[in-house]
Structure 1
Amino acid sequence: MRIAYGGAPWSTGADEGPSPDTAAEITLHRTAHSTLAGHVSGASHQWATTALELAGFAPAEDGIHQLSTDDPDQTRQALHQLRQSARDLDVTVTLSPQPYLGDIAVDLAQRLPGHWEVDPVPLPEAERQRDLLPWVWSPGPLTAALERHRIPCAARLIGGDTELLLVQSDNECVIGAMLPSPGVIETFVAGPSSISAASTDMAASLIQNRLLPQYQEAVFSSRLTEADDDLRWAQETYEPGDVVEPYSRELAAGLNRFLDHAPELIAHLRRAKDPLAAHDAAFLDDFEAALGQAQSGGGDAMALWLTEGEELIELTQAVPTRQTTVTRPATPTAVPVPPPAAVTSTARSR
């Protein structure tokens, strides 16, 4: 394949992306903004970075190097310099026929409901790519792509506390949900399956209609399980007369998690198809009012949790979600990419 910039042809290598055996490689993509984007990879990827910078590619905040192609003469000169520097530094250069992943991610984010931020994630080393695997919530096309193909760059799509990971594999978009940070919530159920699609339009439809609903159900089921576990632990550990201020760190942490989960449990009950029985509806109204007072400092949050929390949890458990497979994934130990921002600063101490 040959592409001309201002009349100067540039030869490309294989279409499959960087080889895992290459010491230093540059993968170039044409972007939607009249630039060339360069990803580096390989055990000696620092030399690939040097070659890009000698040719005039500017490093962006996301770690991707960019070269404007608005001026054909300057572009031709820069590519000539890149060819020379790559030869001198023993760097392989591949011009990929695939669209730039950053453009794909932005296009996809614009098709999803709500506000999404796009964050390219360079993966210059195979080890960093492997470090992403423990953070993929469930196996599927995304884990298969990360395990079987050398991927020089991924992209995070961040919408509130939801984080998706996008890669390109076999000319398709592959997207999966990442585990929430343990600082946000412990996960107790299988997460949503990752998806693959031949276009951003198809990917957006699958994300909106399948992946995101499954993600929300999994997060809710985890909230409910954690709320139940915390309350059972508190009831088994403390006698009523032993719960006095200042509370132990573990008890205070459990209370804070309950105050975080309770509004979601209430919202779930409000959304239920079948109306609650009259006495259950009255309890929910009273509980919601008491919760509001407790959260504003005007009520006894601990007493509400320990005396009324069980009934709220049992009511919520009676309104099932479609997520039923209970598992306890191992907590990741390597975090090359920061997890989503926590919804509460309270550390999980049990």
Structure 2
Amino acid sequence: MAEAKIVLSHSRESGIVAIASGERYPWAHTALAESGFQRDDEGVWHLSTDGTQSTVVDLVTCAKRHRTSVHTSSHRFIGDAATSRACCPVSDTPQLRSHPAWQEDLIPWIWDSGELGRALQSNRIPYAATLTDAVHGTTLLFIERPGRQLDYLVGAFSPEGLEGGYGDPHAASSCRPPPGAAQALTDRYLPSYEQAVHARQTVAIAAVLGDIRCEHDTWQAMNASGRYSDATR
């Protein structure tokens, strides 16, 4: 991964936006600040449309001084993409998650047996968007599909009270929402996710009941013999 990198994309509401990444991402932050960009609470740097052309040129020049590369994304801004492809089933606007140099806080909590889980294991995902299912409160993760232009992946975080994360055979498989078809989440992914959660809960309950039954059988055997497990009366 590049030591310091700036990715520029276009936001419907904010115009040109930038996200910094790389092991030396503070260098990118410095270049953006010196070039007139302003950072919001989610880690996105914004530039108004006024004077955009000259300021972007200045950014490229400034970035070179700070050993930072500047790239233009082939994707639209991740927040806009998440809104357009997943607006039907979610309760609020997407929240950006920026991971400029690490993503370890994502991998253990993603409950996925499909492509999204594999992508997080093998690719750097410097930013993503989270959404909340309005019906069940499920938190979804929306990322750009690595190596594919204009394509995205959606998966979910682990349900509350259950563990397992990526690789759990009971987890639902992430989906690729097609353009203009947000109902793909409502009609296909979310129902399959709820079914997977039910199956996982059933297995967990069966395991607990099995432990209780084993303990009960052991106690009955000791009670009938009149001795504890160490043979004392």
Q: Under a length normalisation based on structure 1, what TM-score does the superposition of the two structures give? A: 0.54
Indicate the residue corresponding to 1:137 in structure 2: 111
Indicate the residue corresponding to 2:187 in structure 1: 209
Indicate the residue corresponding to 1:279 in structure 2: none
8 Å contact kept, 1:37–1:67: yes
Instruction: Point out where structure 1 has 5 or more consecutive residues left out of the alignment.
Output: 1-19, 240-350
Indicate the residue corresponding to 1:54 in structure 2: 34
CA drift at 1:213: 0.9
Task: Pick from 151, 154, 163 the counterpart of residue 175 of structure 1.
Answer: 154
Q: What value does the CA root-mean-square deviation take over the aligned residues?
A: 2.6
From the two aligned structures, give the one with the greater helix fraction: 1
Q: Deviations over 1:92-141 (max 9, x none)?
A: 011223211110112233222x524521111211x32x553333323322
Indicate the residue corresponding to 1:82 in structure 2: 59
CA drift at 1:197: 4.0
Query: Structure 1: how far apart are the matches of 2:208 and 2:94?
Result: 35
Counting only pairs closer than 5 Å after superposition, residues 1-350 of structure 1 correspond to structure 2 as: 20=1, 22-69=2-49, 71=50, 73=51, 75-112=52-89, 115-125=91-101, 127-128=102-103, 131-159=105-133, 160-169=136-145, 170-171=148-149, 172-181=151-160, 184-186=161-163, 190-199=170-179, 201-202=180-181, 204-234=182-212, 237=215
- Judging changes above 3 Å, is the alpha-carbon distance between structure 1 residues 161 and 34 closer, same or farther for their aligned structure 2 residues? closer
Q: Find the residue that maps to 2:94 and give its secondary structure.
A: strand
Query: Structure 2: how far apart are the matches of 1:228 and 1:139?
Result: 22
Query: Structure 1: how far apart are the matches of 2:137 and 2:208?
Result: 22
8 Å contact kept, 1:31–1:100: yes
8 Å contact kept, 1:186–1:226: no
CA drift at 1:45: 0.7
Q: Find the residue that maps to 2:87 and give its secondary structure.
A: helix
Q: Deviations over 1:279-309 (max 9, x none)?
A: xxxxxxxxxxxxxxxxxxxxxxxxxxxxxxx
- Judging changes above 3 Å, is the alpha-carbon distance between structure 1 residues 76 and 213 closer, same or farther for their aligned structure 2 residues? same
Q: Find the residue that maps to 2:3 and give its secondary structure.
A: coil
Q: Which has the larger radius of gyration?
A: 1
- Judging changes above 3 Å, is the alpha-carbon distance between structure 1 residues 164 and 205 closer, same or farther for their aligned structure 2 residues? same
8 Å contact kept, 1:54–1:85: yes
Query: Structure 1: how far apart are the matches of 2:63 and 2:126?
Result: 18
8 Å contact kept, 2:22–2:100: yes
CA drift at 1:34: 3.9
- Judging changes above 3 Å, is the alpha-carbon distance between structure 1 residues 217 and 189 closer, same or farther for their aligned structure 2 residues? farther
- Judging changes above 3 Å, is the alpha-carbon distance between structure 1 residues 46 and 223 closer, same or farther for their aligned structure 2 residues? same
Q: Find the residue that maps to 1:227 and give its secondary structure.
A: helix
Q: Find the residue that maps to 1:155 and give its secondary structure.
A: strand
Q: Find the residue that maps to 1:78 and give its secondary structure.
A: helix
Q: Under a length normalisation based on structure 2, what TM-score does the superposition of the two structures give? A: 0.78
Query: Structure 2: how far apart are the matches of 1:47 and 1:81?
Result: 15
Q: Find the residue that maps to 1:138 and give its secondary structure.
A: coil
Indicate the residue corresponding to 1:328 in structure 2: none
CA drift at 1:61: 1.2
8 Å contact kept, 2:85–2:177: no
Query: Structure 2: how far apart are the matches of 1:115 and 1:100?
Result: 20
8 Å contact kept, 2:113–2:172: no
CA drift at 1:148: 4.5
CA drift at 1:162: 1.0
Runs of 4+ off more than 6 Å: none
Amino acid at match of 2:192: Q
